[in-house]
Protein backbone atom coordinates (compact mmCIF):
# COMPACT_ATOMS: atom_id res chain seq x y z
CA UNK A 1 0.00 0.00 0.00
CA UNK A 2 1.19 3.50 -0.83
CA UNK A 3 0.88 6.19 1.81
CA UNK A 4 1.67 9.89 1.64
CA UNK A 5 4.05 12.11 3.53
CA UNK A 6 3.20 15.48 5.00
CA UNK A 7 4.53 17.29 1.95
CA UNK A 8 2.23 15.32 -0.37
CA UNK A 9 4.58 12.73 -1.83
CA UNK A 10 3.75 9.05 -2.00
CA UNK A 11 5.69 6.74 0.26
CA UNK A 12 6.03 3.01 0.59
CA UNK A 13 8.34 0.34 -0.85
CA UNK A 14 7.40 0.92 -4.49
CA UNK A 15 7.53 4.72 -4.27
CA UNK A 16 10.84 4.58 -2.40
CA UNK A 17 12.26 2.24 -5.05
CA UNK A 18 11.20 4.51 -7.90
CA UNK A 19 12.55 7.62 -6.16
CA UNK A 20 16.06 6.17 -6.11
CA UNK A 21 18.41 7.65 -8.74
CA UNK A 22 19.90 4.20 -9.32
CA UNK A 23 16.55 3.21 -10.83
CA UNK A 24 16.76 6.12 -13.27
CA UNK A 25 20.15 4.88 -14.40
CA UNK A 26 19.02 1.26 -14.80
CA UNK A 27 18.33 1.61 -18.56
CA UNK A 28 21.81 3.02 -19.15
CA UNK A 29 23.43 0.28 -17.11
CA UNK A 30 21.44 -2.39 -18.97
CA UNK A 31 22.33 -0.90 -22.33
CA UNK A 32 26.04 -0.32 -21.71
CA UNK A 33 26.57 -3.84 -20.36
CA UNK A 34 24.40 -5.64 -22.93
CA UNK A 35 25.26 -3.88 -26.18
CA UNK A 36 27.83 -5.53 -28.42
CA UNK A 37 28.23 -7.26 -31.77
CA UNK A 38 24.85 -8.63 -32.82
CA UNK A 39 23.09 -7.25 -29.72
CA UNK A 40 22.36 -3.60 -30.53
CA UNK A 41 18.65 -4.04 -31.27
CA UNK A 42 18.13 -6.15 -28.16
CA UNK A 43 20.06 -3.72 -25.93
CA UNK A 44 18.36 -0.55 -27.15
CA UNK A 45 14.91 -2.16 -27.22
CA UNK A 46 15.23 -3.42 -23.67
CA UNK A 47 16.67 -0.12 -22.41
CA UNK A 48 13.86 1.87 -24.05
CA UNK A 49 11.19 -0.46 -22.69
CA UNK A 50 12.62 -0.20 -19.17
CA UNK A 51 12.87 3.61 -19.48
CA UNK A 52 9.22 3.98 -20.49
CA UNK A 53 7.97 1.43 -17.95
CA UNK A 54 9.83 3.04 -15.03
CA UNK A 55 8.73 6.55 -16.00
CA UNK A 56 5.08 5.59 -16.37
CA UNK A 57 5.10 3.58 -13.15
CA UNK A 58 6.80 6.42 -11.27
CA UNK A 59 4.12 8.93 -12.22
CA UNK A 60 1.29 6.48 -11.61
CA UNK A 61 2.53 5.62 -8.12
CA UNK A 62 3.48 9.18 -7.20
CA UNK A 63 1.19 11.55 -9.05
CA UNK A 64 2.78 14.56 -7.37
CA UNK A 65 6.30 13.76 -8.55
CA UNK A 66 8.04 16.09 -10.97
CA UNK A 67 9.45 15.16 -14.34
CA UNK A 68 13.11 14.41 -13.86
CA UNK A 69 16.03 15.21 -16.13
CA UNK A 70 17.20 11.61 -16.12
CA UNK A 71 13.76 10.22 -17.00
CA UNK A 72 13.50 12.48 -20.02
CA UNK A 73 17.10 11.78 -21.04
CA UNK A 74 16.44 8.03 -20.81
CA UNK A 75 13.49 8.12 -23.18
CA UNK A 76 14.92 10.64 -25.64
CA UNK A 77 18.32 8.93 -25.89
CA UNK A 78 17.09 5.37 -26.33
CA UNK A 79 14.19 6.31 -28.61
CA UNK A 80 16.70 8.17 -30.79
CA UNK A 81 19.05 5.20 -30.78
CA UNK A 82 16.19 2.89 -31.72
CA UNK A 83 15.22 5.09 -34.67
CA UNK A 84 18.84 5.42 -35.81
CA UNK A 85 19.34 1.67 -35.52
CA UNK A 86 16.19 0.95 -37.53
CA UNK A 87 17.21 3.30 -40.37
CA UNK A 88 20.97 2.74 -40.27
CA UNK A 89 22.98 1.07 -43.00
CA UNK A 90 24.83 -2.13 -42.23
CA UNK A 91 28.07 -0.22 -41.75
CA UNK A 92 26.49 2.26 -39.33
CA UNK A 93 24.82 -0.56 -37.43
CA UNK A 94 28.17 -2.33 -37.07
CA UNK A 95 29.67 0.90 -35.71
CA UNK A 96 26.80 1.24 -33.22
CA UNK A 97 27.18 -2.36 -32.09
CA UNK A 98 30.84 -1.68 -31.36
CA UNK A 99 30.80 1.82 -29.87
CA UNK A 100 27.25 2.50 -28.62
CA UNK A 101 28.22 1.37 -25.11
CA UNK A 102 30.88 4.07 -24.92
CA UNK A 103 28.48 6.63 -26.40
CA UNK A 104 25.91 5.82 -23.69
CA UNK A 105 28.48 5.98 -20.90
CA UNK A 106 29.86 9.30 -22.13
CA UNK A 107 26.33 10.69 -22.53
CA UNK A 108 25.46 9.88 -18.94
CA UNK A 109 28.78 11.31 -17.70
CA UNK A 110 27.95 14.52 -19.59
CA UNK A 111 24.50 14.57 -17.99
CA UNK A 112 26.04 14.08 -14.54
CA UNK A 113 28.74 16.72 -14.79
CA UNK A 114 26.54 19.05 -16.87
CA UNK A 115 23.80 18.98 -14.23
CA UNK A 116 26.42 19.81 -11.61
CA UNK A 117 27.70 22.69 -13.74
CA UNK A 118 24.23 24.26 -13.82
CA UNK A 119 23.87 23.68 -10.06
CA UNK A 120 21.18 21.03 -10.38
CA UNK A 121 22.85 17.63 -9.87
CA UNK A 122 20.45 15.09 -11.32
CA UNK A 123 20.18 13.10 -8.07
CA UNK A 124 18.72 16.21 -6.42
CA UNK A 125 15.36 15.68 -8.09
CA UNK A 126 15.15 12.17 -6.68
CA UNK A 127 16.39 13.17 -3.23
CA UNK A 128 13.78 15.93 -2.93
CA UNK A 129 11.05 13.31 -3.27
CA UNK A 130 12.29 11.67 -0.06
CA UNK A 131 12.93 14.56 2.33
CA UNK A 132 11.03 17.50 3.77
CA UNK A 133 11.22 20.69 1.65
CA UNK A 134 12.83 22.50 4.58
CA UNK A 135 16.01 20.53 3.86
CA UNK A 136 16.17 21.16 0.13
CA UNK A 137 18.50 24.14 0.30
CA UNK A 138 20.67 23.15 3.25
CA UNK A 139 24.39 22.88 2.69
CA UNK A 140 24.60 19.22 3.74
CA UNK A 141 21.74 18.12 1.50
CA UNK A 142 23.15 19.90 -1.54
CA UNK A 143 26.70 18.67 -0.91
CA UNK A 144 25.48 15.09 -0.60
CA UNK A 145 23.82 15.28 -4.00
CA UNK A 146 26.85 16.86 -5.63
CA UNK A 147 29.01 14.06 -4.23
CA UNK A 148 26.67 11.28 -5.38
CA UNK A 149 26.15 12.79 -8.84
CA UNK A 150 29.90 13.20 -9.19
CA UNK A 151 30.46 9.57 -8.18
CA UNK A 152 28.14 8.43 -10.97
CA UNK A 153 29.84 10.71 -13.47
CA UNK A 154 33.23 9.22 -12.59
CA UNK A 155 31.84 5.66 -12.72
CA UNK A 156 30.52 6.12 -16.24
CA UNK A 157 33.73 7.81 -17.39
CA UNK A 158 35.64 4.75 -16.15
CA UNK A 159 33.18 2.46 -17.93
CA UNK A 160 33.54 4.48 -21.14
CA UNK A 161 37.35 4.41 -20.93
CA UNK A 162 37.37 0.65 -20.30
CA UNK A 163 35.05 -0.01 -23.23
CA UNK A 164 37.03 2.28 -25.53
CA UNK A 165 40.27 0.53 -24.58
CA UNK A 166 38.76 -2.85 -25.39
CA UNK A 167 37.35 -1.63 -28.71
CA UNK A 168 40.13 0.64 -29.96
CA UNK A 169 43.30 -0.82 -28.46
CA UNK A 170 42.54 -4.51 -27.89
CA UNK A 171 40.17 -4.69 -30.86
CA UNK A 172 38.02 -7.01 -28.77
CA UNK A 173 34.55 -5.61 -27.91
CA UNK A 174 33.71 -8.81 -26.02
CA UNK A 175 36.81 -8.69 -23.81
CA UNK A 176 35.77 -9.87 -20.34
CA UNK A 177 37.80 -7.26 -18.45
CA UNK A 178 37.10 -4.12 -20.49
CA UNK A 179 33.57 -5.05 -21.54
CA UNK A 180 32.29 -6.46 -18.27
CA UNK A 181 34.40 -6.64 -15.12
CA UNK A 182 35.82 -3.11 -14.97
CA UNK A 183 32.51 -1.55 -15.99
CA UNK A 184 30.51 -3.60 -13.49
CA UNK A 185 32.93 -2.78 -10.67
CA UNK A 186 32.65 0.95 -11.45
CA UNK A 187 28.85 0.77 -11.35
CA UNK A 188 28.85 -1.31 -8.16
CA UNK A 189 31.08 1.29 -6.52
CA UNK A 190 28.72 4.10 -7.55
CA UNK A 191 25.67 2.18 -6.29
CA UNK A 192 27.34 1.52 -2.94
CA UNK A 193 28.44 5.15 -2.65
CA UNK A 194 24.86 6.27 -3.32
CA UNK A 195 23.64 4.13 -0.42
CA UNK A 196 26.58 4.74 1.93
CA UNK A 197 27.34 8.46 1.66
CA UNK A 198 23.98 9.93 2.85
CA UNK A 199 24.35 8.12 6.19
CA UNK A 200 27.88 9.49 6.54
CA UNK A 201 26.65 13.00 5.72
CA UNK A 202 23.79 12.78 8.23
CA UNK A 203 26.12 11.56 10.98
CA UNK A 204 28.55 14.39 10.21
CA UNK A 205 25.74 16.97 10.29
CA UNK A 206 24.45 15.61 13.60
CA UNK A 207 27.89 15.96 15.18
CA UNK A 208 28.24 19.51 13.85
CA UNK A 209 24.82 20.43 15.24
CA UNK A 210 25.82 19.03 18.62
CA UNK A 211 29.07 21.01 18.59
CA UNK A 212 31.19 17.85 18.47
CA UNK A 213 34.43 17.54 16.49
CA UNK A 214 34.29 15.58 13.22
CA UNK A 215 35.24 11.91 13.21
CA UNK A 216 37.26 10.13 10.52
CA UNK A 217 35.18 9.06 7.53
CA UNK A 218 34.22 5.36 7.98
CA UNK A 219 35.58 4.19 4.64
CA UNK A 220 35.59 0.52 5.67
CA UNK A 221 31.79 0.42 5.45
CA UNK A 222 32.02 1.59 1.84
CA UNK A 223 34.84 -0.76 0.86
CA UNK A 224 33.42 -4.03 2.29
CA UNK A 225 31.04 -4.80 -0.61
CA UNK A 226 33.66 -3.73 -3.14
CA UNK A 227 36.16 -6.17 -1.68
CA UNK A 228 33.45 -8.81 -1.71
CA UNK A 229 32.99 -8.41 -5.46
CA UNK A 230 36.54 -9.67 -5.99
CA UNK A 231 35.35 -13.18 -5.09
CA UNK A 232 32.77 -13.53 -7.91
CA UNK A 233 35.21 -11.80 -10.26
CA UNK A 234 37.81 -14.41 -9.37
CA UNK A 235 35.29 -17.19 -10.00
CA UNK A 236 34.44 -15.66 -13.38
CA UNK A 237 38.14 -15.54 -14.26
CA UNK A 238 38.51 -19.20 -13.33
CA UNK A 239 35.58 -20.18 -15.53
CA UNK A 240 35.99 -17.90 -18.55
CA UNK A 241 39.68 -16.94 -18.60
CA UNK A 242 42.85 -18.97 -18.95
CA UNK A 243 44.73 -17.16 -16.17
CA UNK A 244 43.72 -19.55 -13.37
CA UNK A 245 46.23 -18.19 -10.89
CA UNK A 246 44.70 -14.70 -11.15
CA UNK A 247 41.26 -16.12 -10.42
CA UNK A 248 42.56 -17.90 -7.31
CA UNK A 249 44.42 -14.76 -6.19
CA UNK A 250 41.30 -12.60 -6.56
CA UNK A 251 39.22 -15.05 -4.52
CA UNK A 252 41.81 -15.22 -1.73
CA UNK A 253 42.46 -11.46 -1.65
CA UNK A 254 38.74 -10.68 -1.82
CA UNK A 255 37.95 -13.03 1.06
CA UNK A 256 40.75 -11.70 3.26
CA UNK A 257 39.98 -8.05 2.48
CA UNK A 258 36.28 -8.54 3.16
CA UNK A 259 36.99 -10.13 6.53
CA UNK A 260 39.47 -7.41 7.52
CA UNK A 261 37.30 -4.52 6.38
CA UNK A 262 34.16 -5.95 7.96
CA UNK A 263 35.97 -6.21 11.28
CA UNK A 264 37.13 -2.62 10.93
CA UNK A 265 33.65 -1.46 9.92
CA UNK A 266 32.18 -3.04 13.06
CA UNK A 267 34.58 -0.92 15.13
CA UNK A 268 33.74 2.31 13.33
CA UNK A 269 31.08 4.66 14.73
CA UNK A 270 27.67 4.29 13.12
d(CA 184, CA 148): 17
Contacts (Cβ under 8 Å, ≥6 apart) of 223: 257, 261
pLDDT tens for residues 147-178?
A: 999 999 999 999 999 999 999 999 888 889 99
CA-wise closest residue to 259 among 219, 223, 217, 218: 223
d(CA 64, CA 7): 10
| Cβ-contact 21, 126 below 8 angstroms | yes
- Indicate if the pLDDT at residue 2 is higher than 50: no
Of all residues in the chain, the percent with pLDDT exceeding 90 is: 49
For residue 3, give the 3-state DSSP assignment. Answer: strand
- Indicate if the pLDDT at residue 225 is higher than 80: yes
* Mean pLDDT for the stretch of residues 63-86: 86
pLDDT of residue 5: 44
Return the sign of the alpha-carbon dihedral for residues 268, 233, 110, 120. negative
* DSSP designation for 20: S
From residue 148, alpha-carbon distances to 37, 126, 131, 174, 255 in Å are 32, 12, 16, 30, 28
pLDDT tens for residues 192-223?
A: 999 999 999 988 888 888 888 888 888 898 99
d(CA 256, CA 262): 10
* Mean pLDDT for the stretch of residues 242-249: 91
Q: Between 40-61 and 69-87, two packed helices, what is the crossing angle to 10 degrees?
A: 150
* DSSP designation for 268: S
Burial zone of 167 (CB within 10 Å; 0-12 exposed, 13-18 middle, 19+ buried): buried
**Could you tell me the pLDDT band of residue 9, with boundaries at 50, 70 and 90?**
low
Helix ranges (H only) for the chain are 13-18, 21-34, 40-61, 69-87, 90-117, 123-127, 139-164, 176, 182-209, 219-228, 230-240, 244-267
pLDDT tens for residues 11-69?
A: 555 555 666 778 888 898 889 878 888 889 999 999 999 999 988 888 887 766 677 88
pLDDT of residue 97: 87
Q: Which residues pair with 3 in a beta bridge?
A: 11
From residue 201, alpha-carbon distances to 138, 207, 217 in Å are 12, 10, 10
Instruction: Calculate the average pLDDT of the chain.
Output: 87
pLDDT tens for residues 100-144?
A: 889 999 999 999 999 999 999 999 988 888 888 888 999 899 999
pLDDT of residue 80: 94
pLDDT of residue 146: 96
Amino acid sequence: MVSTQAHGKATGPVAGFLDNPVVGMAPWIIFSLLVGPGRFELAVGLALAVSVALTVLSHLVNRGSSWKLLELADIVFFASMAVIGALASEGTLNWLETYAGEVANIALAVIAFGSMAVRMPFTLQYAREQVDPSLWHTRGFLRTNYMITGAWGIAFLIAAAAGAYGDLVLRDPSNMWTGWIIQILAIVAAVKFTVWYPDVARARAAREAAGLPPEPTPWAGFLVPLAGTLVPVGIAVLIFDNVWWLGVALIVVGSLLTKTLRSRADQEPA
